[in-house]
Amino acid sequence: MIGLTRKELYGCRFMTGVLILLLALCSGTSARGQAVPTFVGIRTFMGAPEVTNLEELHADFAVLGVPFDEGTWGWPGERYGPRSMRESSQEYNHDLTEGFYYIDGDRTVLKGKRWVDVGDVPVMPTVPAETNQKITEMVRKIRSKGAFPIVLGGDHSITFPILRAFDIPVTVIHFDAHLDTWNGARGNLDHASWVNRAAQLPHVKKIVQVGPRGLANDEEAAGNARKAHTIIITAEEIHRKGVEATLAQIPVAENIYITLDVDVMDPTLAPGTGTLEPDGLSFAEIDGLLRGAVAKGRLVGMDIVEVNPMRDASTRTEQTAIRLLVDTLGSAFK
């Protein structure tokens, strides 16, 4: 402080005081479930900052919407999935770098993680190949910037162009009531056949299919899954054996990609989807399986698909899906 006048010295002390106060305020913040009313503001996922230019992407998690449902053989409406999940996610709108607090265990996860919402893939209606190309390009770009892609669908056909964007060996853990190894579309990519194509990608090393059940799968689909050497764990098996025994059947892998079709859950829990099948997983089952699955390797990407807001005015499908996402990421990245 040599050479400073008394006035300058006070000025320095004052600025230091302000700085300390600011630091105290920052460090004093704690994880919150919600910081603003749900009915105000422009919608991004959980209020994450929006990044429109992927060249300027600096984040841990990048949320990408794919409002696309031209791959469905059932009810349309999955194109509204990303928009509706953004809307429902306002329940957890807060400064996401503060993390998420759980009353159970008095713990906070994902503290310091930077989330961004990169908006939606440009969709070209009636030209699905073009939309699919954009999906691959955007996921590839997100990964090249070191961010973890969280993709909100959209029907399940979008998982193929997402996986195509990866250049590392991955094990795909596929939660679904359906095997999605059907051949009905005769060569087209659709939401019931994408696994056939994913299995042919050289970097897809293994596919684990969790939750197929009931009358939702035919012999042809089962035969195709066997040909692709997928590991199949049915919902009925999960009900009988429980979560821990099921997790023991999932092999350890270097990199894990999770695709969550919300129809893996029981229709009472997730009615907002195109193809309902009774006797699905309970919340405790799917939550326990997701949180346990990420202990099998490094999670490198995740999608949530087949959310159809047109079939669920209650929005509980979206709310449940968002909770599962946070639980999964919290277990994978602490």
H or E stretch covering 149: strand 148-153
- CB atoms under 10 Å from CB of 113, counted, come to 19
3-class secondary-structure state, position 261: strand
Residue 78 or 180: which CB sits closer to Mn ion? 180
For residue 290, give every residue at least 6 positions away whose Cβ sits within 8 Å of its Cβ, in sequence order, or none.
175, 258, 260, 324, 327, 328, 331
**Residue 263 beta carbon to Mn ion: minimum distance, rounded to whole angstroms:** 7
Of 285 and 303, the one with the shorter C-beta distance to Mn ion is 303
CA pair distance 254, 215, nearest whole angstrom: 34
Q: Give the residue with the Cβ less far from Mn ion, 78 or 117.
A: 78
CA pair distance 11, 7, nearest whole angstrom: 6
Closest approach of Mn ion to the CB of residue 35, in Å: 34
One DSSP character per residue, 24-65 reads HHHHH----S-SS-TTSS---GGGPPB---GGG---SEEEEE
Which segments within 169-314 are labelled E, that is strand?
Answer: 170-175, 204-210, 231-233, 255-261, 298-305
Q: How far is the CB of 157 from Mn ion (least distance, A)?
A: 9
Residues in contact with Mn ion by the rule CB under 5 A: 156, 176, 180, 261
**Min CB(156)–Mn ion separation in Å:** 4
Q: Indicate the residue among 17 and 278 with the shorter CB distance to Mn ion.
A: 278
Compute the least distance from the CB of residue 212 to Mn ion, in Å.
10
- The nearer residue to Mn ion, 78 or 318, going by C-beta atoms, is 78
